[in-house]
Structure 1
């Protein structure tokens, strides 16, 4: 995955007046995908999602996907393998956030150490995935 792609994605979003970015990682282990659940008192509490977080100022989208995966799960991203697409959503401030989603390979798939979520699960992609947004569901269909 190249930094050119990350720069192009950011430029395209900014051209659409979207300036808040989130980077997200689809972490797999065999036929399973890692989902984490937002704490009940968080914005969109109880929602299951893929590890993700804000892209900080001066940070690339690819750097953020590595950092956020480590911060939220304790897992180290060995490689960012491919771009899976993006979706936009209204954030807690009422503005639009663009979430960029990447398939990644983790150095190891455990132990998962949560810092910002209350639960995690390794879910079968072929199974029913309740409690996720349509945006995440569409991204997972591309894995």
Structure 2
């Protein structure tokens, strides 16, 4: 069902990435990339690049498992997406989905410095694009 977005990305000539919203009673799981600078980097949602020949749902399940150690049991809603340029200057479309996981812990990080369960109604340290995705999610799930 969610994999219909894959041909659209290929047709538009953009790379596809996926992001997962994992909700624990009104708190969402956010990850922090490693940084050696004095400024704290913005937090991100768990996710992955959709590899050639891989489905969107497959990439989402794999990305959550690789980045957090959590197991996706259901993909609930497509929340929204946005386009941006990668650091290499290539167009990317990031698709976001609300997912259910078998358990919300323990979180086991593979490539991130830290994680936090941040309240959806709080001041989140995320990009404006991710803020918009989380607002869409909050309106859908907590009207």
TM-score, structure 2 normalization: 0.89
Structure 1, unmatched stretches of 5+, are none
Q: Which residues in structure 2 correspond to 1:36-51 (within 5 Å)?
A: 36-40=31-35, 46-51=41-46
Q: Which runs of 4+ in 1 moved over 3 A?
A: none
What is aligned with 1:71? 66
Query: C-alpha separation between the residues in 1 aligned to 2:83 and 2:111?
Result: 22
Q: Supply the distance in 1 between the matched residues of 2:47 and 2:127 (Cα, whole angstroms).
A: 14
| Map of 1:28 onto structure 2 | 23
Does 2:114 match 1:133? no
Question: Which residue of 2 is the match for residue 56 of structure 1?
Answer: 51
How many residue pairs match? The answer is 134
SS in 2 for 1:105: strand
Partner of 2:141: none
SS of residue paired to 2:23: strand
**Which residue, out of 8, 12, 21, partners 1:16?**
12
Q: Which residue of 2 aligns with 1:124?
A: 119
Query: Could you give the per-residue CA deviations for residues 78-99 of structure 1, whole angstroms, max 9, x where no partner exists?
Result: 1000101111111121111110
TM-score scaled to structure 1, two decimals?
A: 0.89
Runs of 5+ in structure 2 lacking a partner? 138-143
Looking at structure 1, the residues matched to 97 and 54 of structure 2 have their Cα atoms a distance apart, in angstroms, of: 16
Alignment partner of 1:135: what SS?
A: helix
TM-superposed deviation, 1:69: 0.1
Task: Measure the CA separation in 2 of the matches of 1:52 and 1:117.
Answer: 12
* C-alpha deviation, 1:13, in angstroms: 2.3
Structure 1 distance, partners of 2:83, 2:127, is: 11
Aligned CA-pair RMSD: 1.3
Deviation, structure 1 residue 16: 2.3
